[in-house]
Structure 1
Amino acid sequence: MTLITAFLLPLAAQAPAQAAANAWTPGISPLYSGEWVERDIQGGDNADEALKLCALASGIACVSVGQGDGKQSIFHLYRCGTRSLSNFIDALSVLNNQTGGAEVRFWGPNVGTYRAPADPNVIWRFPNAATYDFNNMSVC
């Protein structure tokens, strides 16, 4: 048993450093007054529930994107405008509860434009290859 323990302890000590090395911080710029981002939301069903909670407020566009460590960053957006994206790599989902038929649009140099129409009952999911290419978005 001591041989196994001697082998596993160094691996356990390395795990947090490896997880941190594989993570990134997605960003949307600008974030306007009253908009905010929630970090480190566990992916999967937890991220979907966090999107639904975000979208309870009318007029809100909720954008969830992967952090590379199995967790998500969820942006709470409401102000119209074009924004720049950074570190959008994978697991992009949108729940758009804006009013007046407003859309959330993403685009990049190679993939064209992807849309998430306003519908508080639909979580729009985007392919990772497109997400990686997106460098801009607009709300409204």
Structure 2
Amino acid sequence: MVVAMVAAVLVPLAAQAPAQAAPNVAAGTAGWTPQISPLFADEWVKRDVPGDKRESELIWCSRLSGIACVAIGQGDGKHSIFHLYKCDTRSLANFIDALSVRNNQTGGAEVRFWGPNYTFRALADGNIYNFPDYATYDFSHLDIC
């Protein structure tokens, strides 16, 4: 009797619930969210930059003197671009592929990435530096100075 009463209540409620489609995994590649921590006042990140716009956005980001900009892949064909200027050490998360840096800082300041196995630098010369994925995956820290 109790089972019949519960069924009488639950069946109509289930019929009223809106149908939800199963997620379409084939619709797109799952990505990740790269992080630099901390970001200081007046520093920012621009997400979901298309791959064909990455270089121009990196240049635009670092057009001002004293700025270093980092572009990193999100795993879905898009990129996150970080606008950085404060001399400090930062932690990196989800730095996996497609890392590029344009360092437009003054006074010869370098952007240095390091991890347990690899260290790479981007000089303050206005060039775009592209780092190999095997090293990018290893990087855990970043210095801007």
TM-score range, shorter chain: 0.7 to 0.9
2:41 pairs with 1:36: no
Aligned to 1:136: 141
**TM superposition shift of 1:110:** 1.6
What is the 5 A alignment of 1:74-93?
74-93=81-100
SS of the equivalent of 2:79 reads: strand
Q: Which runs of 4+ in 1 moved over 6 A?
A: none
**Which of 110, 120, 137 is the aligned partner of 1:114?**
120
Q: Structure 1 length normalisation: TM-score?
A: 0.84
| Contiguous gaps of at least 5 residues in structure 2 | 1-23
Q: How many residues align?
A: 123
| Contiguous gaps of at least 5 residues in structure 1 | 1-12
- Identical counterparts, % of pairs: 63
What is the 5 A alignment of 1:1-140?
13-16=24-27, 18-19=28-29, 22-43=30-51, 45-111=52-118, 113-120=119-126, 122-140=127-145
Q: Structure 2 length normalisation: TM-score?
A: 0.81
Aligned to 2:12: none
1:98 and 1:15 mapped to 2: Cα distance? 42
Please tell me the root mean square deviation across aligned C-alpha atoms, in Å: 1.4
**TM superposition shift of 1:99:** 0.4
Q: Which has the larger radius of gyration?
A: 2
Aligned to 2:19: none
SS of the equivalent of 1:62 reads: strand
2:98 and 2:32 mapped to 1: Cα distance? 13
**TM superposition shift of 1:55:** 1.1
**TM superposition shift of 1:47:** 0.1
Which one has a larger percent strand, Structure 1 or Structure 2? 1
2:48 and 2:57 mapped to 1: Cα distance? 11
1:110 and 1:56 mapped to 2: Cα distance? 32
2:123 and 2:82 mapped to 1: Cα distance? 17
